[in-house]
Structure 1
Amino acid sequence: MINTLPLINFTKQSTLSDWNVVNDGVMGGRSQGEFYINQEGHATFTGFVSLENSGGFTSVRHRFQTLKTNTYDKINIRLKGDGNRYQFRTKTFQSDRHAYITYFETTGEWQTIEISLHAMYPTFRGQKINLPNFAGEQMEEIAFLIANKKAQNFRLEIDSIELQ
């Protein structure tokens, strides 16, 4: 039997009160992202990445109570992208300055992205740092980020996220 834990299954009734968009405006940039539930009941992260004023990213993050994850090896995300590359991020503690990341490519079709938790590596402000990869013991935050070093429109629909 495969051990799975559904984290999020978006529906038309889903609330996004624990999700926050963080744009590069925190550093003077001009990128704009928004996050909402679309008519089909999928969470939708959409907007424009601008390189003006040293910008170049936008993200959406979800913070939650400590979730023990030591019995899981991967995270599965059912999503529909726009052909762009995105970053999936997690933090062991919300207060950590660094995040553990991995990149994934989208195809423009519905797909399930499978991410090995232990392959996620630590970064701070876009730079890999000298710490071990994600230990997988617990998490308090997950996030999606787009930062492809180019100005671009983007759209990422998310249906569900589960640990396995």
Structure 2
Amino acid sequence: MTLFQFKSTSNLSNWTIIGDYVMGGVSNGNFYLSESGTGVFKGEVSLDNNGGFSMVKYSFATKQVDDFTSVSIRLKGDGKRYQFRVKTNESDSHSYVAYFNTSGDWETIEIPFSNLSPTFRGRPLNMENYPGQHMEQIAFLIGNKKAESFQLEIDRIELI
């Protein structure tokens, strides 16, 4: 199942940037289509004012995902570490999170649902890992506890 395939005509209206400004920080992020039709998440993470993260999230109607076991993402990073996040319900306060490193080249990463662990504001929760039944939101977040520029280019996101 394809969650999102980027192309030059993609509608990004359900993609939203969330920054640490929600807690007083000054990091910034932007999300746009490249000339080649990929999604680009780009910006600067700042530690000023107790900040330190930038996130882009994609919300959609509830999807039944119990026929799948993993997320497959074709992307090109900048050699930095990112988080991939899932919400069962968009209104949940917690997310299920897995970290992944990027190589600087185009690559396909696979994240098993069983590796998505529950967190709230960066703290682990005493709950089961992602149950893989429903999904209403996915997100990419950078927050490596350091000031840094970042760029993550995304081609497609699929469930396998």
Give the CA deviation at 1:95.
0.7
The 5-angstrom pairing of residues 114-153 of structure 1 reads: 114-153=110-149
| Map of 1:6 onto structure 2 | 2
What code does the residue aligned with 2:10 have?
S
The 5-angstrom pairing of residues 52-131 of structure 1 reads: 52-131=48-127
Tell me, in whole angstroms, the C-alpha distance in 1 between the residues paired with 2:131 and 2:156. Answer: 23
Give the CA deviation at 1:126.
0.3
Tell me, in whole angstroms, the C-alpha distance in 1 between the residues paired with 2:3 and 2:19. Answer: 24
Tell me, in whole angstroms, the C-alpha distance in 2 between the residues paired with 1:17 and 1:136. Answer: 26
For the residue of structure 2 that corresponds to 1:157, the secondary structure is strand
Runs of 4+ aligned structure 1 residues displaced above 4 Å come to none
| Map of 1:159 onto structure 2 | 155
Aligned length: 160
Give the CA deviation at 1:19.
0.4
Unpaired runs of 5+ in structure 2? Answer: none
For the residue of structure 2 that corresponds to 1:25, the secondary structure is helix
What code does the residue aligned with 1:123 have?
T
Residue identity over aligned pairs, in percent, reads 51
Give the CA deviation at 1:7.
1.3
Unpaired runs of 5+ in structure 1? Answer: none
